[in-house]
Amino acid sequence: MTTILRGNIIHAPVFGKLEAVPRGFLVLEDGIIRGLYAELPPEYAACPVTDYGNRLILKSFADLHLHAPQYPMLGMGMDLPLLDWLHTYTFNTEARFADAAYARRVYRQLAHDLITSGTTRVAMFSSRHTDATLILMEELERAGVTGYVGKVNMDRDSGVAQEGTEESIRETLRWLDGCRFAHVKPILTPRFTPSCSDELMAELGRIAKERGLLVQSHLSENPGEVALVKDLHPDCAQYWETYDKYGLWKPGTLMAHCVHSDQREQEAMAASGVWAVHCAASNVNLCSGTAPIREMLDRGVHVALGSDIAGGDQLAMNKVVTMSIRASKIKQLETGAPFLTVPEAYYLGASAPQEWFGERPGFQPGDSLHAVVVDDGGLPEPVRELSLSERFERSIYLMDKSCITAVYSGGRKVLG
Ligand SMILES: [Zn+2]
């Protein structure tokens, strides 16, 4: 069935460049984009049009690093460094997800919060609990969030959240067998090297290879963590090699943070097609530092953005985008590396992840529609008529849920 959306369409098909089509038309066939037009081609003249008037139609956001079971502790423990924060708050909170009814309530709220914030795609950590992870996937599917979720593996140094090695492997297989969702897929998720024994890492590498699964984890977030990894794996010159050793460092692997990744580690990412997921708010909140994003981009590393709740304190990705800009300006003061512009940071939060999902950046024919409709009419009245790029910039900085009037995910209308 052919449907058409009309409005001020803005997307970022190229890094650093916006394309705006005033009062343009997005033509869809069963939720798949057929074309983006300034004038409607005559063959579509009889098709129904959903007209969003003067509103903006933007590519929706993708959050490629967040921890679902940390949602209840959003905005807590912000005065602690990473390893203390994990042991004081995080592991205790995650242990609560042994309770399926609690998981259902929290994950339903999280899924709704994502969609109403304009995030339609995710790569997400669950807890170690198989049942709660399946509930999370079900709730995302129900709300219209698409992407990947991982049952977390953690058989070492993880407090009350820890699992046994055999249990971790057995439950991972049970979880994989239970994943039967149309839009939410499994991704293998060793929490990070300090949380996983060598035996577990080796087994996860074997499962990843055997089943062709993607992998997500953490890398070089904090100096204390980097030193700990060095102690645990004296045979590895650098942190990334502890993943490579077990077959977990491969094309499409997502590595959150990479704050302290030097030239050699960045080059290893670029060479292997490993993605860096930049979580600027979390890195500042936990005093981890500011990641060298411009350096990574210049070296050809794929970069996406993550809210990293609850190290990050904002779930809404437009806030994550603007935080990335602020962090890059701090980095510029330290190193002179040019800061991220609004179109560049938006690209990382909306367009770049499309490539990770196997699509092309922006609204492209053949890709399913992921879009957010923004009504900026309630923002402060400007002194003159604004251009579309000015309205876009202002919306990225200022919009909240009250501005988001419709959301499309994977070709389906999921809000509005
Ligand atoms: Zn994380």
CA of 312 to the centre of ligand 1 (A): 9
**Helices 198-211 and 165-178, packing angle to 10 deg:** 20
CA of 149 to the centre of ligand 1 (A): 13
User: 55 lies in a domain?
Assistant: yes
Do strands 404-409 and 412-415 pair parallel, antiparallel, or not at all (unpaired)?
Answer: antiparallel
- DSSP secondary structure, 206-267, as one string: HHHHHHT--BEEEES--HHHHHHHHHH-TT-SSTHHHHHTTT---TT-EEEE-TT--HHHHH
The CATH number covering residue 391 comes to 2.30.40.10
Q: Tell me, what's the pLDDT at 84?
A: 87
CA of 141 to the centre of ligand 1 (A): 22
How far apart CA 416 and CA 404 sit, in angstroms, is: 9
CA of 256 to the centre of ligand 1 (A): 6
How far apart CA 120 and CA 184 sit, in angstroms, is: 11
CA of 305 to the centre of ligand 1 (A): 12
The CATH number covering residue 264 comes to 3.20.20.140
CA of 92 to the centre of ligand 1 (A): 16
Are 218 and 182 found together in one domain? yes
CA of 126 to the centre of ligand 1 (A): 11
CA of 85 to the centre of ligand 1 (A): 12
Please list, residue by residue across 172-187, b when 16 or more beta carbons sit within 10 angstroms of its beta carbon and e when fewer do.
beebeeeeebebbbbb
Query: What digits encode the pLDDT tens for the residues 306-325?
Result: 999 999 999 999 999 999 99
- Categorize the per-residue pLDDT at 88 as very low, low, confident or very high, splitting at 50, 70 and 90: confident
Tell me: pLDDT of 161 over 80.
no
Contact criterion met (CB below 8 Å) for 143 and 116? no
Query: What digits encode the pLDDT tens for the residues 47-69?
Result: 999 999 999 999 999 999 999 99
Are 71 and 15 found together in one domain? no
Are 178 and 196 found together in one domain? yes
Give the number of other CB atoms < 10 A from CB of residue 407: 24
CA of 70 to the centre of ligand 1 (A): 10
CA of 289 to the centre of ligand 1 (A): 15
- Categorize the per-residue pLDDT at 125 as very low, low, confident or very high, splitting at 50, 70 and 90: very high
CA of 412 to the centre of ligand 1 (A): 29
CA of 44 to the centre of ligand 1 (A): 46
Query: What digits encode the pLDDT tens for the residues 103-121?
Result: 999 999 999 999 999 999 9
User: 357 lies in a domain?
Assistant: no
Domain with 125 in it: 61-338
Q: What is the mean pLDDT of residues 371-375?
A: 98
Amino acid at 143: A
How far apart CA 38 and CA 182 sit, in angstroms, is: 33
Are 187 and 265 found together in one domain? yes
User: 134 lies in a domain?
Assistant: yes
Are 45 and 72 found together in one domain? no
Query: What digits encode the pLDDT tens for the residues 178-192?
Result: 999 999 999 999 999
Do strands 404-409 and 184-186 pair parallel, antiparallel, or not at all (unpaired)?
Answer: unpaired
State how far the alpha carbon of 410 is from the alpha carbons of 14, 35, 248, 371, 395, in Å.
21, 16, 28, 9, 23
Query: What digits encode the pLDDT tens for the residues 287-308?
Result: 999 999 999 999 999 999 999 9
CA of 26 to the centre of ligand 1 (A): 36
CA of 66 to the centre of ligand 1 (A): 6
Are 265 and 406 found together in one domain? no
State how far the alpha carbon of 212 is from the alpha carbons of 94, 188, 204, 247, 278, in Å.
28, 10, 11, 12, 25
| Cα angle for residues 54, 16, 311 (degrees, 5° grid) | 90
Name the domain boundary from 275, 306, 338.
338
Are 52 and 81 found together in one domain? no
CA of 210 to the centre of ligand 1 (A): 26
Contact criterion met (CB below 8 Å) for 116 and 415? yes
Of the candidates 122, 125, 141, 132, which has an alpha carbon nearest to the alpha carbon of residue 61?
122
CA of 232 to the centre of ligand 1 (A): 20
Are 121 and 247 found together in one domain? yes
Are 231 and 189 found together in one domain? yes
Query: What digits encode the pLDDT tens for the residues 201-235?
Result: 999 999 999 999 999 999 999 999 999 999 999 99
Number of domains in the chain: 2
CA of 214 to the centre of ligand 1 (A): 17
Q: Tell me, what's the pLDDT at 150?
A: 98
State how far the alpha carbon of 58 is from the alpha carbons of 13, 52, 144, 192, in Å.
12, 12, 17, 34
Amino acid at 134: L
Are 130 and 13 found together in one domain? no
CA of 67 to the centre of ligand 1 (A): 6
CA of 337 to the centre of ligand 1 (A): 25
CA of 356 to the centre of ligand 1 (A): 18
User: 347 lies in a domain?
Assistant: no
Tell me: pLDDT of 389 over 90.
yes
Count helices and strands in the chain by DSSP H and E runs = 15, 17
Residue carrying structure tokens 């995650």: 94
Are 25 and 174 found together in one domain? no
CA of 112 to the centre of ligand 1 (A): 21
| Phi then psi dihedrals of residue 170, to 5 deg | -60, -45
User: 246 lies in a domain?
Assistant: yes
CA 330, 332, 338, 341: dihedral to nearest 10 degrees? 10
Q: Tell me, what's the pLDDT at 237?
A: 97
Token pair, residue 136, equals 């999370």
Handedness of CA 111, 100, 148, 153 (dihedral sign): positive
User: 319 lies in a domain?
Assistant: yes
Name the domain boundary from 289, 305, 338.
338
**Helices 165-178 and 130-143, packing angle to 10 deg:** 30
The three-class DSSP label of residue 381 is coil
User: 356 lies in a domain?
Assistant: no
- Long-range contacts at 48-52 (CB < 8 A, ≥ 24 apart): 48/3, 48/4, 49/4, 49/5, 49/6, 49/25, 50/3, 50/4, 50/5, 50/6, 51/6, 51/7, 52/5, 52/6, 52/7, 52/373, 52/405, 52/406
Are 93 and 223 found together in one domain? yes
CA of 382 to the centre of ligand 1 (A): 39
User: 345 lies in a domain?
Assistant: no
Name the domain boundary from 305, 338, 371.
338
Token pair, residue 221, equals 């977030």
Q: Tell me, what's the pLDDT at 199?
A: 97
**Which residues lie across from 4 on neighbouring strands?**
27, 49
CA of 55 to the centre of ligand 1 (A): 34
